[in-house]
């Protein structure tokens, strides 16, 4: 097995077995894990406390039954799964769960958590251009920090926070580099591997993830770039999984050359910058700098233009919109983006992501026809 294959295999294992990653961390450090609900949370605080931040992004193929008692059938697919898993006690090993509530579904879910872990809820201000928004978010972060310290029984110092911010910034920079490398080497990094590298960072200490991805990049860059005879796409949406769906991309030689997925590149888009005001203020300012996301209000609606620019920069043939079933914020952005794609002559395809289904034949047919049309 080559070193590239070995690193990918390790990251795929982590991505596929989050519970094992958490148990290993607990055995190694004697500390626990804190759940991070989508989409954005001050994860650096959890890291600074010495706990493992664990992303909570639902599960694929579970039949929804218990969650129906608490959520209407038209709540988004991912939160139906999260509620189902809560009811089954899947998150009860977490020392706490941090909730941001940028959409109505997350607001509801934060108020009816059925697990036993303590829940810490905070709000992102949506009028993000104002300095008052930064101050508001600092206050929210101070409350999150105080609750974390109380629940975990630790003190989170500014020095520890600064160290964690530097580790997270480095991880985001390395992942942005990885996105470019994956675009240049689709024969080496296929859709499944690309997703695994992103997903593993949800369940690993970022410094360990960074070291592996850096080594992966160095190994791949030592190889010659080969011409790609398939199609290239930019993908957008909340998330694009499971592997059975991504296998269809591989089958029809559709390379993912960039993404705007909430689970992937939106997590690495914005760094916490150096500057005045202390770590919490700088973390708050990162929210002000966020762009191109359905959860971060943008009255100018720049997401469509951002995606069109990505297709130009990467030479992509098209944009694939992975629409999370019943996700209101994504559904509201879509008509605006679609009109812009049409006006600029950018081909696009919308596929629905439903975490309850386990058959992807319909998506397979649509992707096959799309590739033929391209």
Residues that bind ligand SF4 (CB under 6 A): 38, 76, 78-79, 103, 105-106, 238, 295, 324, 327-330
The count of other CB atoms within 10 Å of the CB of residue 71 is 19
10 Å Cβ neighbour count for 252? 15
The answer to whether 324 and 330 are in contact (CB under 8 A) is: yes
Report in angstroms how near the CB of residue 331 gets to ligand SF4 at its nearest. Answer: 9
For ligand SF4, the closer of residues 105 and 169 by Cβ is 105
Residues 6 or more apart whose CB falls under 8 angstroms from that of 9 comprise 1
Rounded least distance, CB 295 to ligand SF4, Å: 6
Closer Cβ to ligand SF4, 317 or 330, answer by number: 330
- For residue 157, the minimal CB distance to ligand SF4 (Å) is 33
Task: State which residue, 295 or 349, has the beta carbon closest to ligand SF4.
Answer: 295
Query: Please, what sign has the CA dihedral across residues 340, 341, 344, 345?
Result: negative
Buried b (16+ CB within 10 A) or exposed e, 328-359: ebbeebbeebbebbeeeebbbbebbbbbbbee
Q: How far is the CB of 296 from ligand SF4 (least distance, A)?
A: 11
261 phi, psi to nearest 5 deg: -80, 140
Nearer to ligand SF4, 79 or 133 (CB): 79
Give the residue with the Cβ less far from ligand SF4, 196 or 238.
238
At closest approach, how far in Å is the CB of 82 from ligand SF4? 8
Instruction: Tell me how far, at minimum, the Cβ of 210 lies from ligand SF4, in Å.
Output: 27
**64 Cα distance to chain centroid:** 23
CB of 298 to ligand SF4, least distance (A): 15
Place of tokens 């990918």: 8
Structural contact between residues 54 and 203, judged by C-beta atoms closer than 8 angstroms: yes
Shortest Å, Cβ 39 to ligand SF4:
6
Q: Cβ closer to ligand SF4: 324 or 363?
A: 324
Q: Considering the complex, state which of residue 165 and residue 327 has its C-beta at the smaller distance from ligand SF4.
A: 327
CB 294, min distance to ligand SF4, A: 7
Coil, helix or strand at residue 345: coil
Residue with smaller CB distance to ligand SF4, 103 or 296: 103
Instruction: Report in angstroms the alpha-carbon separations of 130 from 29, 205, 287, 349.
Output: 41, 33, 12, 36
User: In angstroms, what CA-CA distances link 283 with 71, 91, 138, 265?
Assistant: 32, 27, 8, 18
d(CA 77, CA 355): 6
98 vs 188, which CB is nearer to ligand SF4? Answer: 98
Distance CA 232, CA 265 (A): 17
Nearest CA among 357, 265, 307, 325 for reference residue 59: 357
């Amino acid at each position: 097995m080559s070193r590239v294959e070995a690193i990918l295999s390790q990251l795929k294992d982590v991505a596929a077995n989050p519970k094992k990653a958490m148990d290993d961390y607990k055995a190694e450090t004697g500390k626990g894990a804190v759940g991070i609900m989508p989409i954005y949370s001050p994860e650096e605080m959890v890291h600074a406390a010495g706990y493992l931040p664990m992303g909570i992004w639902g599960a694929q193929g579970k039949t929804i039954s218990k969650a129906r008692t608490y959520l209407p059938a038209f709540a988004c697919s991912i939160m139906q799964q999260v509620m189902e898993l809560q009811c089954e006690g899947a998150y009860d090993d977490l020392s706490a769960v941090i909730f941001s509530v940028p959409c109505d579904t997350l607001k509801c879910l934060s108020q009816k958590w059925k697990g036993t872990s303590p829940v810490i809820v905070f709000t992102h201000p949506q009028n993000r251009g104002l300095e008052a928004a930064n101050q508001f978010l600092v206050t929210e972060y101070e409350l999150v920090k105080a609750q974390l310290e109380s629940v975990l029984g630790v003190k989170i110092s500014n020095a520890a926070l600064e160290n964690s911010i530097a580790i997270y910034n480095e991880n985001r920079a390395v992942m942005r580099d990885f996105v470019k490398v994956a675009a240049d080497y689709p024969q080496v990094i296929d859709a499944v591997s690309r997703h695994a590298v992103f997903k593993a960072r949800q369940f690993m200490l970022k410094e360990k993830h960074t070291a592996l991805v850096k080594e992966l990049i160095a190994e791949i860059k030592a190889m010659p770039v080969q011409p790609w005879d398939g199609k290239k796409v930019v993908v957008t949406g909340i998330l694009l999984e499971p592997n059975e769906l991504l296998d269809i991309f591989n089958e029809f030689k559709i390379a993912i050359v960039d993404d705007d997925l909430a689970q992937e590149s939106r997590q690495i888009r914005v760094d916490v910058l150096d500057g005045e005001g202390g770590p919490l203020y700088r973390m708050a300012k990162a929210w002000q700098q966020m762009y191109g996301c359905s959860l971060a209000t943008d009255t100018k609606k720049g997401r469509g233009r951002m995606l069109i620019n990505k297709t130009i920069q990467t030479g992509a043939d098209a944009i694939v919109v992975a629409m999370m079933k019943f996700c209101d914020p994504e559904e509201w952005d879509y008509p605006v983006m679609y009109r812009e794609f049409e006006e600029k002559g950018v081909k696009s395809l919308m596929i629905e992501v439903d975490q309850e289904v386990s058959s992807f034949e319909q998506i397979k047919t649509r992707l096959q026809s799309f590739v033929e049309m391209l």
